[in-house]
Structure 1
């Protein structure tokens, strides 16, 4: 029996799925002038704002420089604001504006619907196993 890259290569399968996910998200977010990367920031701040750029970069597993560029764009769109951190004068804290919070709330429901469609026909127990396995793969590679 030969090796079939489509069936067994974890890297290939993860990449293929990630690309498909990003395409669908990009199409869904396009009418709102938001990229998947910008959505990632908005959704994190929607769950918990008042965090630093460093904390945000750790939460979404991106370097601070690339996050800074995304933050600049979101700030120009009046979706976030940066405020001085009262405990560290070298840092600032990130907050959603009212406009940003309203947009994030709308987009979170759209993205949840996309994820629900993606997981159609998959038992909840299988999703739980998948999440456990994918997180272990990540920890193994860290």
Structure 2
């Protein structure tokens, strides 16, 4: 590999865009985008959080998360409910249909992840994830 090919930004971008294209292909038949799925999936892990908390968790701005949530609400996958602790705020909940959609897509996305890691040992995958986490911590 030439030193010019070592550009971290380029390598991360290429890999991310390729993975996202493949994920988009698998999700489009279910009417979701990878962004919508990631928000839905993260919400399901933390039922009852606020839009602000969800934005922080997914590292997106609140406006973007709000637009994604609007689409998920229209699709019947998420509901906004009044926060019993604060009448001015809403909590977010995954609907039964949302949970079913997650369960339907998870095996497909697991398969895609296995494809992405093809040819790597478990040790190499663990090291790769650890390296990505270190890079993330170094730049945040």
TM-score, normalised to structure 1, is 0.92
C-alpha contact 1:43 1:108 (8 A) present in aligned 2: no
Counterpart of 2:125?
Answer: 127
Instruction: Give the whole-Å Cα distance in 1 for the aligned partners of 2:138 and 2:88.
Output: 34
Runs of 4 or more above 3 Å deviation? none
Superposed CA deviations along residues 84-136 of structure 1, whole A, max 9, x for unmatched, are 11122332111111111111111122111110111111111111111111111
Counterpart of 2:14?
Answer: 16
C-alpha contact 1:46 1:105 (8 A) present in aligned 2: no
TM-score, normalised to structure 2, is 0.94
Secondary structure of the corresponding residue to residue 4 of structure 1: helix
Q: 1:121 to 1:87 in 2, by over 3 A?
A: same
TM-align CA RMSD: 1.4
Counterpart of 2:109?
Answer: 111
1:1-142 equivalence runs, <5 A: 3-5=3-5, 8-142=6-140
Unaligned runs of 5+ in 2: none
Unaligned runs of 5+ in 1: none
